[in-house]
Chain A
Amino acid sequence: MPIITVNHLKKHYQVHQKDPGLSGSIKSLFHRKYYDVKAVDGVSFSIEPGELVGFIGPNGAGKTTTLKVLSGLLYPSSGDVSVLGYIPWERKPAFQKQFSLVMGQKNQLWWDLPAMESFLLNKEIYEVADDQFKNTLDELVDLLDVKDLLKVQVRKLSLGQRMKMELIAALIHSPKILFLDEPTIGLDVVMQKKMRDFIKDYNRKFNATILLTSHYMDDVKELCKRTIIIDKGKLLFDGALSEIIKKYADHKLLTIVFSNGVEQKDLEKYGVIKEFESPKVVISVKREEAPKVAAKILEKFPVEDLNIEEPQIEDIIREVFTGKDVA
Chain B
Amino acid sequence: MYILFFTFEIFTYLAFYLYWKGFLETVRHINTGQFDIVLAKPASSWLITFFRGGGLHNILAAVLGSIYLIIVIHNYSLPVSILSICLYIFSMSLSLIFLLCFTSIFISLNFIFGNFQASGIGFSFQDLYKYPAQIYPKSWFFILVVTPFSALVTVPATLLISKPFDMSILGIYLGSIIITSIICNLLWRFGLRRYSSASS
Judge if A150 is at the interface, Cβ distance under 8 Å. no
CB–CB A73/B197 < 8 A: yes
Residues on B with beta carbons closer than 8 Å to the beta carbon of A97: 42
Complexed CA–CA distance, A106 and B39 (Å): 13
Complexed CA–CA distance, A63 and B75 (Å): 68
**Interface membership of chain B positions 103-121, coded 1 if the CB is closer than 8 angstroms to chain A and 0 otherwise:** 0000000000010000000
Q: What's the least CB distance linking A15 to chain B, in Å?
A: 9
Judge if A25 is at the interface, Cβ distance under 8 Å. no
Residues on A with beta carbons closer than 8 Å to the beta carbon of B42: 93-97, 125-126
Number of interface residues of A (CB under 8 A): 27
Judge if B195 is at the interface, Cβ distance under 8 Å. yes
Among A93, A95, A101, A125, contact of B36 (Cβ-Cβ < 8 Å): A101
Among B36, B43, B48, B114, contact of A106 (Cβ-Cβ < 8 Å): B36
Judge if A312 is at the interface, Cβ distance under 8 Å. no
Q: What's the least CB distance linking A242 to chain B, in Å?
A: 28
Judge if A72 is at the interface, Cβ distance under 8 Å. yes
Judge if B41 is at the interface, Cβ distance under 8 Å. yes
Judge if A103 is at the interface, Cβ distance under 8 Å. yes
CB–CB A106/B33 < 8 A: yes
Query: CB-nearest residue of chain B relative to A60?
Result: B199
Judge if B139 is at the interface, Cβ distance under 8 Å. no
Judge if A216 is at the interface, Cβ distance under 8 Å. no
Beta-carbon contacts under 8 Å, A152-171 to B: none
Query: CB-nearest residue of chain B relative to A213?
Result: B200
Q: What's the least CB distance linking B192 to chain A, in Å?
A: 8
Judge if A107 is at the interface, Cβ distance under 8 Å. yes
Judge if A182 is at the interface, Cβ distance under 8 Å. yes
Judge if A105 is at the interface, Cβ distance under 8 Å. yes
Judge if A13 is at the interface, Cβ distance under 8 Å. yes
Q: What's the least CB distance linking A213 to chain B, in Å?
A: 9
Are A73 and B40 CB-contacts (below 8 A) given A64-B200, A182-B200? yes
Q: Give the residue among B34, B42, B193 with the most A Cβ atoms within 10 A.
A: B42
CB–CB A74/B199 < 8 A: no
Total A-B residue pairs with C-beta atoms closer than 8 Å? 50
Complexed CA–CA distance, A74 and B200 (Å): 14
Among B39, B41, B43, B200, contact of A181 (Cβ-Cβ < 8 Å): B200
CB–CB B43/A93 < 8 A: yes
Complexed CA–CA distance, A252 and B1 (Å): 89
Judge if B82 is at the interface, Cβ distance under 8 Å. no
Query: CB-nearest residue of chain B relative to A97?
Result: B42
Residues on A with beta carbons closer than 8 Å to the beta carbon of B40: 71-73, 96, 100-101
Complexed CA–CA distance, A71 and B42 (Å): 11
Judge if A280 is at the interface, Cβ distance under 8 Å. no
Complexed CA–CA distance, A90 and B36 (Å): 15
CB–CB B37/A74 < 8 A: no
Q: Give the residue among A68, A71, A95, A181 with the most B Cβ atoms within 10 A.
A: A68
Judge if A108 is at the interface, Cβ distance under 8 Å. yes
CB–CB B193/A103 < 8 A: no
Q: Give the residue among B39, B114, B193, B200 with the most A Cβ atoms within 10 A.
A: B200
Judge if B196 is at the interface, Cβ distance under 8 Å. yes
CB–CB B41/A103 < 8 A: no
Judge if A246 is at the interface, Cβ distance under 8 Å. no
Query: CB-nearest residue of chain A relative to B45?
Result: A91
Complexed CA–CA distance, A53 and B135 (Å): 67
Complexed CA–CA distance, A317 and B196 (Å): 29
Complexed CA–CA distance, A100 and B40 (Å): 8
CB–CB A91/B43 < 8 A: no
Residues on A with beta carbons closer than 8 Å to the beta carbon of B36: 68, 73, 101, 103, 106
CB–CB A73/B34 < 8 A: no
Judge if A301 is at the interface, Cβ distance under 8 Å. no
Residues on B with beta carbons closer than 8 Å to the beta carbon of A106: 33-34, 36-37
Query: CB-nearest residue of chain A relative to B54?
Result: A112
Beta-carbon contacts under 8 Å, B156-174 to A: none
Complexed CA–CA distance, A34 and B26 (Å): 26
Residues on A with beta carbons closer than 8 Å to the beta carbon of B34: 106
Q: What's the least CB distance linking B86 to chain A, in Å?
A: 28
Given A72-B39, A72-B40, A96-B40, output 4 extra A-B contacts at Cβ < 8 Å. Answer: A64-B200, A94-B42, A106-B34, A125-B43
Closest 8 CB pairs of A and B: A96-B42, A93-B42, A64-B200, A108-B37, A101-B40, A97-B42, A125-B43, A73-B39
- Would you list 27 pairs from A and B whose C-beta atoms are within 8 A, ordered by A residue? A13-B196, A16-B114, A60-B199, A68-B197, A71-B40, A73-B36, A73-B40, A73-B195, A73-B197, A74-B197, A91-B39, A93-B43, A94-B42, A96-B40, A96-B41, A97-B42, A103-B36, A103-B37, A105-B200, A106-B34, A106-B37, A107-B37, A125-B42, A125-B43, A126-B42, A181-B200, A182-B200
